[in-house]
Every structure is written in structure tokens, then in C-alpha cells.
Amino acid sequence: MALQTQNENSKMLESELVGSFEDAIKYGYIYAYYQPQINHSTGRMIGAEALMRWKHPIFGVQMPSDFIPVLEKNNLIYRADIHIFETVCAFQRKCMDEGLNIIPISVNMSRYDIFNTNYVDEIEAIRRKYDVPVRFLRLEITESSAIGGTELITKVLRELHEYGYTVEMDDFGCGYSSLNILKDLDVDVIKLDMAFLSGEIGGRGGTILSSIVQMTKWLNTPVIAEGVETLEQADYMKSMGCNYIQGYLYYKPLMEEEFLNVMQKLDHEPLTPAMHLIQMLDTGKFWDPNSMETLIFNNFVGGAAIFTYSIETGDVKILRVNRKYVKEIGMNMNEHDMIGHNPWENHDADSRAIYEGVMKRAIETRDEEMCECWRNFSSDCCGDDKICIRSYIRVIGEAENEYLFYAMVQNVTAEKRHQAQLFEDESRYKTAFEQANIYAWEYTIATKEMRPCFRCMRDLGFPPLLKNYPEPAIEQGIFPPEYADMYRDWHKQLEAGVESLEAIIPLTVGRVPFHVRYTLEKDENGKPLKAYGSATLVVE
């Protein structure tokens, strides 16, 4: 054995590892680090994983990737795993004795452990010895446990479940037959390692998406994303309905003391199934890059986005947009940049209130709801601009206090500006009428309904629609009694097809003379449809 300084870690040979194993167990050179698992949406802790470390008094810290294969090869892994299980139980016991709020801890199981028929009974005996409630212990198995057949692992799973343990499928997606294995094995949690997915997010992203397609088939199984190093990865996983994160982004594996601090500092919450997606959407297909749904999302639906909305905080986060969305909004961004964007930045308080109102309505109705909002945009090149977006939104998934929305958008700025122009034109028209002292109305023959102009409404107090015309106007005393029957008769004549009528009639309480006229409109068969009435002040 070469002599080394204690500060330097150096890799040990297989024979050195095997030779020092007994001492390592005996003196606690093999021990556990703990890596917290966090709900990315709430920041609360959902559990932790115990990771084996070996610190040799001379060679220093050894990493699992170097010594675990050696232990497996030399039939020592079983004892090492049992030792870690006991270490974890002792840790939980100590925390409970100190009155601390403990969290479930996952312990790794080697695929070789299941060959030892005592494994389940042995860990159960340890758990009882330390009297740790079973819900605070989880076991991680890997797909490789099923190599050579699922019989043995199925039996172990059944026994673990009988005792009440939660079993996690570790490294899901790394094997070739992930799908089949998952179908056969009754696991409670899936751990998806980012390293097995495509490193690139948002780009071609096919690898990630197809893994997610598999994942969504077990939507009622919680999924923990492992090896999450960046916020982008975490947000992306969240977009898949997977909020649980274990990785350097939050914490590296921590030594016991540090872990204890984190465990006390953070709030805890239970592990629950991933975001529940509403049935109407075939979720598997929806995330599949080759599916018809995705083709539709990208090409046929126009601008569309998927975003989350938190009832608690009011936060909105964009998870996915298609190309047309970016084009429709006209932003100087690509689809990738839009992910994680906070759209409230572009809303003023009024338009935000409108949009939030419609989201709440959509949550209630579970139906498509529409709203129009003006949004502000500013860029270096174009300065400040306002655009009007019409959105049709619908809830497609929900988790606790958080909803997943699907929105189709249309940029209706041009339409709105055109309408505003029309309105302005109309008001000019109205002003012209006012100056000419003309009152106008429209009479529908079949229904005897009269629609007055704005001025009639204002000056005569008419509602927008008068039924059984002309009776209400006569009752109101606008016509002198001696003209009332003549005026009633006019409407009969119009009904009979008389093309036009006119007379000077003193109107209103002031009995001011007006030139009153009617012009009849007929349909293509000559049947009377509408009559257009007008009253012009006679200027003497």
C-alpha cells in the first residue's frame, strides 16, 4: 500500500478496495451523503436520496462510480447497501429523537441485492430495530434488476409493498426496454435522469419529448427529474408536468450535518402524482414531436401557447409556444426565448385584470373563453408599441393551486384600429345629422319594431328598441292626438307596400313642425321589409 497524504484523494485499486472493505464498514468509512429533492413549483422539500461515499483514511474520498462496480463484482455490494440502509434508519431515528421534522429518504438497491433472498426481511428488521415509520423510507431499483427476467424483482416488489415501502424506478429511460419494464413492474415513483435525455432543450428536443411521451403514460405516478443542473432544464421538466427536481441546481449531495440544516430550513410536502392532465387531450400524443397533435400545434392552429397560472401568486409562465405565436405577437424573440417569459411584463394593470378574469372563468367553465387585451411592447429598434391580442384559452391540466392553459392567439391590432376609425367616422356622421336637425329611425314591418337613432334616444328618451311601434311614441305624446290615427295608418300603408309617405307634423310637447318622411324597402319578391323614417325640422 503506497503512503499518501490525507488531504489528497487518490483512486484505489480493486485489490485495495476489497482488502479494506471490512474496516470501512466497521469504522464507518462507508457512509451516506444526502441529496435533497425539491418541488420546483413550491420550493418545498419532498425527500432526499442517500448516496454512498467511502472515505479511506489514506486514499481519501472514493466515488461510487469507481468502487460500486468493484463491490458488485466481489459480492460485497449487498453488505454495503444494508449498511447504508442502517445508516439512514439511524439518522432518521436520531432526528426523531431530537424532535425534528423528518423527510422520506431513498436508499439505492443494487440489482445484485435481489439475489439475496433475505434482502427484504433484513431491511425490515433494521427498520423495526430503529422504529422508523415505513413512509420515511424509499427504495430505488433500476431497470437492470429485470435483466434476465422480471420474476425475481416482481417478487421483491410485492414483498416491499406488503411492508408498505415506496419503490422508485431509478434511471428511467436509460435502458432500451424502458416501456416494457415499466408495464411489468409496479413501481410507485419514476426517476428520470436528465443525462439520458438530449442535452439540448427546446431545439430539436425530440429525445426529450419522446421520453416524456413514455412518461406521460404513467401520469398518475410521480416523476422526479434527476441531474437537473440548470433552471432551463427545471422549467422544461415542469412544462412536462414534472415539478420534482433532484440536482445540482438546488443541492449537491450534502454531508449529514449540512443536510440536517437544509431539512430544517425548508418546508416539506408529500410526493404526489404529476400534474393531472385533463382527459380530452391525448397527452402522450400532444408532447410527441412526430404526432399529429404536434403537427397541428405547429402548423395549423395559428399562434398557440401553453402556460401555467398559479392561483396563489398570480404568476404566469410560458412553457411552450409555436412559431406562429411568435409571429402573431410580432416579438423580436424566437420560440426558445419565449419559454419562461413572464407575459405580465407586457400588460398594464387593466389588461392584466381582464386576462386574469378570463383565466378564472376558464377554470370554472372548463370551456374555451375569449378575451381581448392590449399589450405593451418596447424594443430598441421600434420603440414603444401597443398591440391588441385576442386569446382563446382553455384549461388543459391542473395541479394543486396551479393550472396549465392552452391559448390560441390572434393579433387583432389592425382590426381594432379599423374599428376605431369606423367609430370615429360614425361620430362625424352623427355630428352632421345633429347640425341638420334630422331625426332618423328604422321600422321593421314584420315585427313592428322601431330602432331610433342616437339623437332620438337622447332627445326623446327612447330606448334602443321600441316594440309595437308607433304606439309607444303616441302614448308618449310626441304626436298631437289629431295626427295619431293618420300616423298609425301610415304604418298600415307601409305594410301594404306604399313606397313613400310624407307630411308636415307638429311634434313634441312644443309642437314644433317637422317634415316627416318614410321610404319603404322591399325584398326581391316585392314584399315590404323595412321603412326608413326621418323627421327634419322645418325652418321658417
77 binds, among Ca ion, ligand C2E, none (CB under 5 to 8 A by kind): ligand C2E
Nearer Cβ to ligand C2E, position 247 or 397? 247
CA distances from 413 to 333, 385, 416, 445 (A): 19, 11, 5, 39
Q: Are 166 and 160 in contact (CB under 8 A)?
A: no
Nearer Cβ to Ca ion, position 198 or 437? 198
Cα separation, 181 vs 96, in Å, equals 37
Nearer Cβ to ligand C2E, position 78 or 439? 78
Cα separation, 33 vs 48, in Å, equals 10
CB of 308 to ligand C2E, least distance (A): 23
CB of 102 to ligand C2E, least distance (A): 19
Cell match 442502517: residue? Answer: 86
Q: Are 329 and 387 in contact (CB under 8 A)?
A: yes
CB of 6 to ligand C2E, least distance (A): 22
Helix, coil or strand: residue 373? strand
Cα separation, 50 vs 170, in Å, equals 13
CA distances from 218 to 101, 134, 416 (A): 30, 24, 45
Number of helices (H), then strands (E), belonging to the chain: the values are: 18, 20
Cα separation, 137 vs 155, in Å, equals 19
Cα separation, 334 vs 316, in Å, equals 19
Q: Is the dihedral of CA 448, 453, 458, 459 positive or negative?
A: negative
CB of 22 to Ca ion, least distance (A): 25
Q: Are 45 and 103 in contact (CB under 8 A)?
A: yes
Q: Are 129 and 99 in contact (CB under 8 A)?
A: no
CB of 19 to ligand C2E, least distance (A): 20
User: Would you state the cell numbers that stand for residue 447, as one nine-digit string?
Assistant: 315585427
CA dihedral 113, 115, 121, 127 (to 10 degrees): 0
Cα separation, 470 vs 474, in Å, equals 6
335 binds, among Ca ion, ligand C2E, none (CB under 5 to 8 A by kind): none
- Binding positions for Ca ion, rule: CB under 5 A: 108, 140, 170-171, 193, 226
Q: For residue 25, give the amino acid letter.
A: I
516 binds, among ligand C2E, Ca ion, none (CB under 5 to 8 A by kind): none
Cα separation, 184 vs 177, in Å, equals 11
Cα separation, 407 vs 389, in Å, equals 11
Cα separation, 41 vs 274, in Å, equals 12
84 binds, among Ca ion, ligand C2E, none (CB under 5 to 8 A by kind): ligand C2E
27 binds, among ligand C2E, Ca ion, none (CB under 5 to 8 A by kind): none
Three-state SS for 147-179 is CCCCHHHHHHHHHHHHHCCEEEEEEECCCCCHH
Nearer Cβ to ligand C2E, position 115 or 248? 248
Nearer Cβ to ligand C2E, position 85 or 287? 85
CB of 16 to Ca ion, least distance (A): 26
Nearer Cβ to ligand C2E, position 234 or 535? 234
Nearer Cβ to ligand C2E, position 226 or 288? 226
CB of 106 to Ca ion, least distance (A): 7
Q: Is the dihedral of CA 128, 132, 135, 138 positive or negative?
A: negative
346 binds, among ligand C2E, Ca ion, none (CB under 5 to 8 A by kind): none
CB of 27 to ligand C2E, least distance (A): 18
CB of 251 to ligand C2E, least distance (A): 8
- Binding positions for ligand C2E, rule: CB under 6 A: 35, 51-52, 63-65, 68, 77, 81, 84, 108, 110, 170-171, 226-229, 247-248, 253
CB of 112 to ligand C2E, least distance (A): 8
Q: Are 379 and 332 in contact (CB under 8 A)?
A: yes
CB of 85 to Ca ion, least distance (A): 13
Nearer Cβ to Ca ion, position 124 or 171? 171
Nearer Cβ to ligand C2E, position 247 or 528? 247
Residues 6 or more apart whose Cβ sits within 8 Å of residue 524: none
240 binds, among ligand C2E, Ca ion, none (CB under 5 to 8 A by kind): none
Nearer Cβ to ligand C2E, position 68 or 389? 68
Nearer Cβ to Ca ion, position 113 or 140? 140
Beta bridge partners, 55, equal 61
531 binds, among ligand C2E, Ca ion, none (CB under 5 to 8 A by kind): none
328 binds, among Ca ion, ligand C2E, none (CB under 5 to 8 A by kind): none
